[in-house]
Amino acid sequence: MEPSLVPAPDRRRRVRRLAPPAPDRDRCQEVGDLINGTGIGLTRFARLLAQYVLVVVFALALGACGSSSPSRSSSAGPRLTIANFEFSPTPLVVQPGAAISVTNRDDTAHTVTSSRGDAFDTGLIAPLGTVTFTAPKTAGTYSYICTVHPKMKGVLVVR
């Protein structure tokens, strides 16, 4: 008997809520308040979205800077390449005391050795190896050779 009595009040409540017009007006007002509320919410959301976009753009800018700076540091310095028993570029123009990266693309060892005095000498650069040497601090034109293959010649200009 009790279970059958329980649903009855619920039905009555539903009917009472739907029947009178007054609650509907209240609902409309509530909906209006909700819309106004969501209007404020949308404004806040727009602000948050704008902030988020700014943060993302800023992060991307930082990321771009971060990704470009390593490539700068690796490509900024002067580079000398040895391939097919030839130095390139030659002449290579650098600033005094510049750090020059030398990459040997051959399958035999080479050197970059100043022809006059001991201005610079990389020593043996292993096949496919890369070394760095310091350019002279005195401006001038320096010819150099590979001591293993003296016919290999190059020119380094410091200015």
Name the one range near Cu ion by CB under 5 A: 10-18, 89-97, 106-114, 127-135: 106-114
- What is the footprint of Cu ion within residues 71-90 (CB under 5 A)? none
Q: Which of residues 10 and 107 has its CB atom nearest to Cu ion in the complex?
A: 107
Among 79, 105, 149, 153, binds Cu ion (CB under 5 A): 149
Residues 134, 99 contacting (CB under 8 angstroms): yes
Task: Describe the strand order of the beta sheet including 99-104 as a list of residue ranges.
Answer: 86-88, 79-83, 99-104, 130-134
Q: Is 148 in the site for Cu ion (CB under 5 A)?
A: yes
- Residue with token string 């005095």: 117
Among 146, 154, 156, 158, binds Cu ion (CB under 5 A): 146
- Residue among 80, 79, 81, 127 nearest 106 (CA): 127
Residues 123, 157 contacting (CB under 8 angstroms): no
Among 100, 110, 154, 156, binds Cu ion (CB under 5 A): 110
Q: Coil, helix or strand for 89?
A: coil
Length of the chain counted residue by residue:
159
Name the one range near Cu ion by CB under 5 A: 25-33, 47-55, 120-128, 139-147: 139-147
Q: Which of residues 107 and 118 has its CB atom nearest to Cu ion in the complex?
A: 107
Q: Is 145 in the site for Cu ion (CB under 5 A)?
A: no
- Residue among 73, 80, 74 nearest 122 (CA): 80
| Contact residues: Cu ion, CB under 5 A | 110, 146, 148-149, 152
